[in-house]
Structure 1
Amino acid sequence: MKRRHGENAQRRRAALMQAAVEVTAEKGMAGVTHRAVTERAGLPLATVGYFFDSIDELAVEALRTRIAADAETMGGLAEHLKQQDSGPDEVAAAFAAAAGSLPRVEAMALVEAMLHAARAPELRHVVVEALDMGRGVVAAAAATAGLSDEEADTGAFLALIHGYMLHSLAAPDLVDSEALLRGVRALFLGGLLEAGHVDLALELAGRDPGS
């Protein structure tokens, strides 16, 4: 990748990557062209070639950077909850709220990237990276709630989140805003019970373990 370190250059590079995410959300990965991205960013057509070897490299880097930033934010949430000694119910509520509030543009771009990867295997590694980061975030949340890496079904949690996100984008009027929280709580509850953490499961279910 071509790199320029000046402050003004970095602003232009960031503008290109934000524009690439927005174009991906609006037109799909196939719509990410030099002209579409530079017009959205308000930059000359040749700007892409100044920073990136190809338009595909720009699209991949933009998605990777955005996904990594979101994963870092969610990881910070997990650490905060851990420091607060939060219980399973607090963890479930916090992560359901955070996952359900992903900006529409970013959610659309992620969905478009996943669909594109199904048709273009050469770009599948980007989606694999995104899913791996997502599973890492889920594992951190599960650990805070009392589940080890082995006990937490991170794939199921991530599939639930992505399914809710897709339904919210496609038919928002039909999606119950509390559905994601109920789903996350149910997965936590099942995982805790299967792992033998009965007290934590009862706490999540809203019952006093000592009763």
Structure 2
Amino acid sequence: AVAHYQLAGSDFSPTDLTLELLYLVEANSAVMAESRKLNERLHGAKAQAEARALADTLTGLQNRRALDTTLLRLVARGIPFTLMHLDLDYFKQVNDTFGHAAGDRVLVEVARILREETRRDDLVARVGGDEFVIVFNGMTSQSQLSSIAGRLIDRIEEPIGVGGEQARISTSIGMVSSTQYRKVDIEQMMKDADQALYASKEHGRACFTFFQRDGPSV
């Protein structure tokens, strides 16, 4: 009120307690406003810190911690999902030939492709040097997953420019769906997806494999 009506001490009698009360109200309002701003900044900083803790610093994808959190949430809610485990083929040759900076450039480009080929509700995580995991939320159709895996392989096989040179890689993929289990065991699913991935490696790389109980199906 004092500030709003541009009042000053001369507008009140020296003995008028209203002056002191009004100034106290104004001071309290100012303190509360600053407190709200501080809380907003603290909440913002906390949210940023939590986001950084769940992100891969190089690619901006989610990390293993975020992957574990997402899988636990899906299992707890009974939501069906598919794990797609990708490992880059010939990535070591890129590092050996062009250097680690070029390798980082390739990883960033692969991350971009993975984001573009997945939906907002899916999770894309980098879980190792050249390993990635995609969690397809609510998707278990092998025909849909086959289409996505095929596009990923085709796009990742396209040459990637690194310092005036062309780096060439590919990717091998293993997949497993939660609906293949009576009781979903995340650790076992990861092992089974890994087994399917290495079946792809054994079949010449640049292909995808679905895990099957009687053996992976390429």
Q: Name the one with the larger strand percent.
A: 2
**Larger Rg computed on CA atoms:** 2
TM over 0.5: no
Q: TM-score range by the shorter chain?
A: under 0.3
- TM-score scaled by structure 1? 0.27
TM-score relative to the length of structure 2:
0.26
